[in-house]
Amino acid sequence: MDFSATVVLAGLILALLWLFTVRNKRSYKLPPGPPALPIIGNLPQMQKDAPCKSFLKFSETYGPVMTLYLGWQRTVVLVGYEAVKEALVDQADDFTGRGPLPFMMKATKGYGLGISNGERWRQLRRFTLTTLRDFGMGRKGMEEWIQEESNHLRNRINSYKGKPFDPTFLLSCTVSNIICCMVFGERFDYDDKQFLHLLNIISEALRFNSSTRGQLYNVFPWIIEHLPGHQHKVFAHVKELRRFVKKKIQEHKDTLDPSSPRDFIDCFLLRMNQEKDQPTSEFQFGNLVATVMNLFLAGTETTSSTIRYGLSVLVKNPRIQEKMQQEIDTVIGQNRCPNMEDRKSLPFTDAVIHEVQRYLDIVPFSLPHYALHDISFRGYTIPKDTVIIPLLHSVLKEAKQWKAPWSFNPQHFLDQNGNFKKNPAFMPFAAGKRACVGESLARMELLIFMVSLLQHFTFSCADGPDSINLIPEFSGFANLPRRYQLIATPR
């Protein structure tokens, strides 16, 4: 390293030390937390392969509201149902801020619904919810799309003729096609090479964010940017995804009929045109590209991973699978598609699907929130520009809320008479004003796809149920289930 580079590096370190010291000398009554080192904060005290366990361990000493430093970034972690609900629901307006997650900032260039705040977030969220509902989210039309896609899925599984197959990308195609119909106005064939490549990019991005390197990128982006490594390949692939979305938007522009919008992109383009002379409008090209990317990513990987995990659970617990099939056969039979009306007559099946979501705990940290101003909470001050992590993991696995939190047990969602019962601590979609916009769509997909699969197939594994490991392969930003070769035996 030459002399000038050494001077720059030393100056940067001194500046960060000064910033760290100044930020923490203010007379805030911060929530308690462990002592932190300059620049690297509490990172040396964290379990790199299971950060959730570290947070839970800290909370035993410092309580349900605590301050940690992830690198130089001050972070308040909320642990347990009471603290998370009090923040996200009871003090919803204070906790609507979304943290500037470096990976998301780079992927979306700071635009879009996912990480926006203030007026941009309000305009985009209202429009997205309204438009998705207009195109059937949570309604009968959407149900029919999912039923049709479940037929495509069933036909493809039948083509394997009882031989082992990895369901990962097949389920990604299936689930993604639903959001593609709403956003792009089209579904893609399961053999479409470009579509499969894009799904691989989405999977790769989620795996990167859940890896140690990805978590370090979100803490020290300015350092990891300049190091060799997998992150450069991931971002090159994200650029490919951006190019695909831009191409689809251009195709929509070229064929747009203002009197008959076909999908989300058409509706956004029409709104852009209506508000082109309004300086405060957020309906601009950057927000369209990023919001479509947000929907495409969020509408693909989390739901397909949950279904894949659900199938692994059923292979590991054949008695549960058999009991679900008996209930489904009694209520629906094998000759018609399931629908959402069937849910109330399928309490055991519904309970299993809920327990799959609880047990997998797909996004254990939620997406980070952010203090847009100083927040008073439980007698403490959470200063402006603090990252806030509502630890959903601690809600879905809290002993006070669940009889056997570390066991897979559908009885968590059944009363003594076998009827389905709700639990307010069931928060896989988060809660409050930043809860997942696709929650009703995901619930519909999980029920219809899972029931349809069990109507027609019994799932097993060549190496037997004991070979299935339900501990996620990666546990970071997301809990990603392991991949298995499953056998689907026609019933």
How many Cβ atoms from other residues are within 10 Å of residue 164's Cβ? Answer: 14
**Bridge partners of residue 376, in order along the sequence:** 381
Q: What is residue 362's DSSP assignment?
A: S
Let me know if residue 29 belongs to a domain.
no
Closest CA to 400 of 77, 82, 66, 61: 82
* pLDDT, tens digit, 9 for 90 and up, residues 461-483: 988 899 999 998 877 788 889 99
- Confirm if 146 and 121 have CB atoms less than 8 A apart: no
Q: What domain range is 372 assigned to?
A: 85-378+405-490
* pLDDT, tens digit, 9 for 90 and up, residues 439-456: 989 999 999 999 999 999
Coil/strand/helix, residue 135? coil
pTM: 0.91
pLDDT band, very low/low/confident/very high, at 177 (cuts 50, 70, 90): very high
Let me know if residue 309 belongs to a domain.
yes
Let me know if residue 98 belongs to a domain.
yes
Let me know if residue 48 belongs to a domain.
no
Let me know if residue 425 belongs to a domain.
yes
* pLDDT, tens digit, 9 for 90 and up, residues 179-214: 999 899 899 999 999 999 999 999 999 889 888 888
Give how many domains the chain has, as a whole number.
1
Let me know if residue 71 belongs to a domain.
no
Let me know if residue 342 belongs to a domain.
yes
Which two three-digit tokens encode residue 28?
């805030």
Which two three-digit tokens encode residue 90?
């009871």
CA–CA dist 18, 38 (Å, integer): 9
CA dihedral 43, 430, 316, 311 (to 10 degrees): -120
CA–CA dist 66, 83 (Å, integer): 11
Let me know if residue 183 belongs to a domain.
yes
- Confirm if 146 and 178 have CB atoms less than 8 A apart: yes
Q: What is the mean pLDDT of residues 254-280?
A: 94
- Domain at 98, CATH number: 1.10.630.10
CA–CA dist 137, 400 (Å, integer): 34
CA–CA dist 305, 56 (Å, integer): 25
**Bridge partners of residue 370, in order along the sequence:** 387
* pLDDT, tens digit, 9 for 90 and up, residues 278-324: 999 999 999 999 999 999 888 888 999 999 999 999 999 999 999 99
